Amino acid sequence: MKNFLAHLTTQRKLGLFALVLGFFAIFAGSPYNRTKITLNAKDLALIAEKNADNVSVQDVANWIIQGKVDFRIIDTRPASEYAAYHIPMAQNIRLSELMDQHFYPTDKLVLYSDTGEDAAQGWFILKGQKYQAVYILKGGLDTWKNQILFPRLPDNPTPDQLASFNKIKEISKFFGGTPQTGTKEEQSQPKVKNLPKLQLPENIPNATPRKRRKEGC
């Protein structure tokens, strides 16, 4: 064997090496095997403890209004619920499909579900795939509805409460919501009586998910 190798030219040795590597590749499995993830438990715990794992509904609303393009919103609910209403720009991706998605590694990924539990599970899946900036929408779609679409001015508001309500009122109108004010009668109406249509106001610069940057040659 040693003798055999010694008589080979460098080219033939390299060719043999490639042959061996190629042969073992048959048994190595798919290089795209992404169903197993590794998690750094300590890192994740620290991130969660510092509350760096979530973003508020106000932040996301502002990003959409400002036309930011460095984030993607992911709705993990069933397609039927997604069809009924979703946050503008959100894509519908179920947890089982999350592994197969190829996001841009530097994008901010914001996950939401009704209350946030599914989103939190999705957070682990994406974190395990080494995406850096993964966030849960704090409070989920319920909070989005309560605070963005149908914000409510408490009775006898303090000046501070009034000021912040006036600010959120504009945001709410932008997303087609109805701020809840005034008499108790109005308040007793079911809040989700008419969820806004899914059309974004025309002045938004980034209403459709952005196209991927053109790559390749």
Residues that bind another protein (CB under 8 A): 11, 15, 18-19, 21-23, 25-32, 34, 102, 104-106, 130, 132, 215-217
Would you say 6 or 26 has its CB closer to another protein?
A: 26
Would you give the DSSP letter of residue 152? B
Strands (E), 125-181: 134-137
Would you give the DSSP letter of residue 30? -
The residues with which 134 forms a beta bridge, in sequence order, are 109
Would you say 106 or 183 has its CB closer to another protein?
A: 106
Least distance (Å) between residue 199 CB and another protein: 29
Q: Do the beta carbons of residue 77 and residue 92 sit within 8 Å?
A: yes
Would you say 96 or 106 has its CB closer to another protein?
A: 106
Least distance (Å) between residue 56 CB and another protein: 24
Half-sphere exposure of 25 (CA within 13 A, CB side): 8
Would you say 205 or 216 has its CB closer to another protein?
A: 216
Least distance (Å) between residue 101 CB and another protein: 9
Element (H, E) at 113: none
Least distance (Å) between residue 99 CB and another protein: 10
Q: Do the beta carbons of residue 112 and residue 135 sit within 8 Å?
A: no
